[in-house]
Amino acid sequence: MVAKEEIAARAEAIVANLGGINWKKSAVEMTELFERWQKLQKEGPKVPKAKTDPIWKRFSQARAKFEAGRRAFFANLDGSFKEAKAEKTSLVDSAKALVTKGAGATDQYKKLQNQWKLAGKAGKAEESLWKEFRAAGDAIFAAKKAEDAEIEISHKANLEKKIALNLEIEALNLDDIESAKKALANIQARWEKIGHIPRDQVRKIEDPIRKVEKKIADAAADAWRRSDPAAKARSNSLVSQLEEAIAGLEKDLEQAKPEKKKEIEEQITARKAWLLAAAQAVD
């Protein structure tokens, strides 16, 4: 009687809080309790049925409550798994579609990653779906890495070209302003065509040309003040080229990411200084 009472009491304790239960562990324990009951029935002392029936009823009701709760829990879990599986299958399809876009799809894939984190677990399908999703991401990030490597090579090559132009700038004879203006305009035109350089080198590389631009601009401005402004033409092809470049950079600035804005602003400032010098160089 005491042993059976303990079994019933333990079963009732298990089902007292189904909301916080460990279903796997508790299922094992409920099976063990039932096996102990059966063993007591076969091997234990004989007890009148009228005395054990109320205890059996309590135990049976606890087992029934446990089984009903377990079925409901796993039915709900299966539903959650199905929803998550459908959502993550869609995310996998979206990620695979981005692979063809290569490096340009990096930001879009990161957004999919955030959605993945918010989605629930997909049960048994979780691991296979994750492998597919991650493989698509690996392909996109590999393309981005390759693109960045190419850009780095291009920027280094551009850096060497601008270093060579700086040597020409250092060799300019600023005593002859007119000749210096023409030579600078030629250098500026070639500089403009070279393209971007590593960001951490921009200020260092552009300092020499800016200093010469300022010296020539100051001298030209002084000469301009002493001359007839009406005689200054502004139709020079370099002037037009620089004005178009500035307009393009200003559009780029509007759409640029925060980390790119400073670099573009520096380029605009440099081009405006060149434009001033080029405009003043026109006779």
Number of structural domains the chain divides into: 2
Residue 112 has pLDDT above 90, yes or no: yes
Q: Domain boundary at 118, 140, 162, which?
A: 140
Residue 161 lies in a domain: no
Cβ-contact 141, 106 below 8 angstroms: yes
pLDDT at 162: 93
Residue 55 lies in a domain: yes
Residue 162 lies in a domain: no
Q: In this predicted model, what pLDDT tens digit does every residue of 22-58 receive, in sequence order?
A: 868 888 888 888 888 788 888 777 777 787 788 888 8
Residue 11 has pLDDT above 90, yes or no: no
Residue 255 lies in a domain: yes
pLDDT at 199: 87
Q: What is the overall mean pLDDT for the chain?
A: 84
Q: pLDDT: is 73 or 176 the higher one?
A: 176
pLDDT at 36: 85
Residues 28 and 91 in one domain: yes
Cα 91 to Cα 102, 124, 205: the distances in Å are: 17, 17, 45
pLDDT at 282: 56
pLDDT at 113: 93
Residues 181 and 121 in one domain: no
Residues 185 and 257 in one domain: yes
Residue 9 lies in a domain: yes
Residue 155 lies in a domain: no
Q: In this predicted model, what pLDDT tens digit does every residue of 134-181 receive, in sequence order?
A: 999 999 999 999 988 998 999 999 999 999 999 999 898 888 888 888
Residues 29 and 105 in one domain: yes
Residue 281 has pLDDT above 80, yes or no: no
Q: In this structure, is the dihedral angle defined by the CA atoms of residues 105, 106, 109 and 110, taken in order, positive or negative?
A: negative
Residues 188 and 130 in one domain: no
Residues 130 and 177 in one domain: no
Residue 157 lies in a domain: no
pLDDT at 164: 94
Residues 51 and 106 in one domain: yes
Domain that residue 103 falls in: 2-140
pLDDT at 236: 54
pLDDT at 132: 93
pLDDT grade, residue 235 (50/70/90)? very low
